[in-house]
Amino acid sequence: MMSVNCLFYLTVQVTLFHYSGISLLRPMFYGFPNVEEAYEYDHQYFFGEDILVAPVTEPVNVATQMATKKIWIPEGVYLSWFKGEMLTGPLVITRNFALSEIPVFVKAGSIIPMRTDDFAPLGSAQVLPTSLKLMMFIGNAEEGSTLLYEDDGNSTQYTEGKFSNTPVSYKMDTSNYLLDVTIGPVTGSFNGMILARAYEIRVPNFWPAKTVSLDGKALNYVPLESSFAAYSENSWTYDGSTLSLIINVVTKQSVHNSLKITVDYGFYKAFNPYWFPGFSGILQRLIQAKKLLDNQWGIDTVYQEDYASLLNATETGMKITYNPQNIMALTSVFKTDLQDGTKQVENLLGLKASVKEQILSQLTNL
């Protein structure tokens, strides 16, 4: 399903393959032919130019329900898509992964275009979407850009020049704590081209905004919704579970005009979005740990008051989502709650040993 949602990214990368001959799935030595690790770590690969995938093929430990994997991060800065960790290569990391976790890393500065609907219906890959999600993996890269390539998708008219490119870029002004995002204008055309489009700009591991403006007009803050389709106005919001700034441009914009979004995050400049490496990933594990503990009710004598600190840590993302202005205070106690919650699980006398081992493994083997 991720491949369908990444259709625009796939289109851009396949277009590069068409002109360069470099395949979509690339072994590590394509990019690093003179580095020994590029040949040694042959179970990982680049998915296009920007994404590094390291499938977990190692056996799962029956007791912990986790697998241990070594991953080579090449030279450069890479961001863990699902865990929210920033890594600077070259280095080799050893990580433990649950069955639901996939090691995917994105080069800092990359912009990954996706669909706004997370569950695309069958046949949707053949329909040009009227809205796009732009995932901006900034990390330490002060600027980044991409081109959104499009054609009709069902003919060879692109060989006759019937296609379009839409530039997308961002630039950080770290002295004034500003982020500028620019989309368009489109160049080129083809039959059936989308003439107006809505956008969801999502920036993981970023500061909450002080203000956000679209072409000079201030956008309102609104509570986080479950989907892009639920928003009724151009606005911004914040997802505390992934520390993501989200800007919703729901009013369709002409692709022939450029639009500029400016974010002022100066009020929160003291906050470090990478203060806890892998924050998003550990939140997901805390949620799974809570489910395991909740499932023991009526089986073993385990009560929520016995692991109150773990519950507090689990709710951190939700609390930040509801009150992003309190992000400093909420994150300052997260480490303590996590440590205390882990000790509380260790001290649960009524908890089955196998369940305790699985939970502790997920909370300590990050």
Return the ∠ at Cα 241 (arms to 239 and 246), rounded to 5°: 20
Q: What is the pLDDT of residues 324-342, one digit of tens each?
A: 999 999 999 999 999 999 9
What pLDDT does 125 receive?
A: 61
What pLDDT does 1 receive?
A: 45
Which has the higher per-residue pLDDT, 127 or 268? 268
Quick check: 322 pLDDT over 80? yes
What tokens were used for 311? Answer: 């519950």
Q: What is the pLDDT of residues 158-169, one digit of tens each?
A: 999 999 999 999
What tokens were used for 82? Answer: 């699902």
What mean pLDDT do residues 12-30 have? 88
Quick check: 297 pLDDT over 90? no
Mean pLDDT of the chain: 93
Which has the higher per-residue pLDDT, 335 or 15? 335
- Sign of the torsion formed by the C-alpha atoms of 336, 337, 343 and 347: positive
Q: Pick from 199, 253, 245: which is nearest to 224 by CA?
A: 245
- Beta carbons within 8 Å of 268's beta carbon, 6+ residues apart: 207, 208, 210, 327, 328
Q: What is the pLDDT of residues 173-227, one digit of tens each?
A: 999 999 999 999 999 999 999 999 999 999 999 999 999 999 999 999 999 999 9
**pTM summary value:** 0.94
Quick check: 228 pLDDT over 70? yes
